[in-house]
């Protein structure tokens, strides 16, 4: 599933549509009513919040997209004929953006956008993100930090790769209770996520250990110490961690 950096990169790239009256169509037909509602309207803003893309058309509504596991976007300049499976095409005379196979593509009014955003935690890539909300949420959460990092109501935009790589960078075992992290550790974790995700926006990929790409994610051995990486289920996804760089807590609370 695309993580938040790719949605922010997409929002950045689609700024070329902002300020234009766009042609909207749904060749597939599954978003025909929504496309008709915004067709010919001026696209006022495109922004990302976590793994969600918001294309704002003022009074006509906001197109909300979540790519899910299979969703992709295609750009053509000048526009070419869309593929029949395109859920939504937004185009000017110079460029077209096609959305294919998203998990969600819906038209929201202002109240619907507010409800969506109310269920999301702060996004490390947004300038308006409030780390204080994150500190408070973790302080009261006794779940494993590896589980909490995938909870989009706590932190928006973090996915399986970023959680593995950020926890490794801080030497935190994924099973460490979130409530056990002091404020300084939370701030370092936040700063690591911000740095990694910003690099991801620029690179279009997650590269935390050039040239190997990742430190532990889907690696046989840790890029830092060559210890075999342990893969285990956590938070509904496979978690990757180095037992040497990220020692687990023992029942006494000590690393071991």
CA distance 172 to 245: 8
| 3-class DSSP assignment, residue 187 | helix
CB of 222 closer than 8 Å to CB of 244? yes
CA nearest neighbour of 182 among 193, 170, 195, 196: 170
CA distance 207 to 74: 23
Give catalytic residue positions.
Answer: 2-3, 51, 237
Tokens of 217: 């994610």
The residue count of the chain comes to 256
Count the neighbouring beta carbons within 10 Å of the beta carbon of residue 41.
16
CA distance 45 to 34: 17
């Amino acid at each position: 599933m695309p993580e938040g950096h790719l949605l922010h990169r997409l929002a950045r790239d689609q700024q070329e549509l902002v300020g234009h009256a766009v042609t909207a169509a749904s060749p597939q037909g599954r978003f025909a009513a929504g496309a008709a509602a915004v067709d010919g309207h001026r696209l006022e803003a495109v922004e990302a919040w976590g793994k969600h893309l918001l294309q704002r058309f003022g009074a006509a509504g906001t197109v909300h997209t979540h790519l899910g596991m299979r969703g992709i976007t295609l750009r053509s300049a000048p526009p070419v004929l869309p593929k029949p499976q395109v859920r939504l095409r937004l185009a000017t005379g110079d460029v077209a953006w096609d959305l294919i196979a998203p998990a969600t593509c819906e038209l929201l009014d202002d109240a619907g956008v507010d409800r969506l955003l109310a269920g999301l935690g702060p996004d490390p890539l947004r300038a308006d993100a409030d780390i204080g909300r994150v500190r408070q949420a973790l302080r009261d959460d006794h779940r494993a930090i590896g589980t909490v990092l995938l909870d989009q109501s706590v932190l928006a935009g973090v996915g399986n790769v970023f959680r593995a790589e950020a926890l490794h960078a801080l030497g935190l075992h994924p099973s460490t209770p979130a409530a056990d992290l002091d404020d300084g550790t939370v701030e370092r974790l936040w700063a690591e996520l911000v740095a990694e995700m910003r690099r991801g926006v620029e690179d279009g990929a997650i590269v935390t250990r050039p040239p190997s790409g990742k430190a532990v994610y889907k690696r046989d051995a840790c890029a830092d110490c060559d210890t075999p990486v342990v893969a285990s289920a956590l938070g509904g996804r496979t978690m990757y961690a180095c037992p040497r760089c990220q020692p687990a807590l023992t029942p006494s609370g000590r690393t071991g």
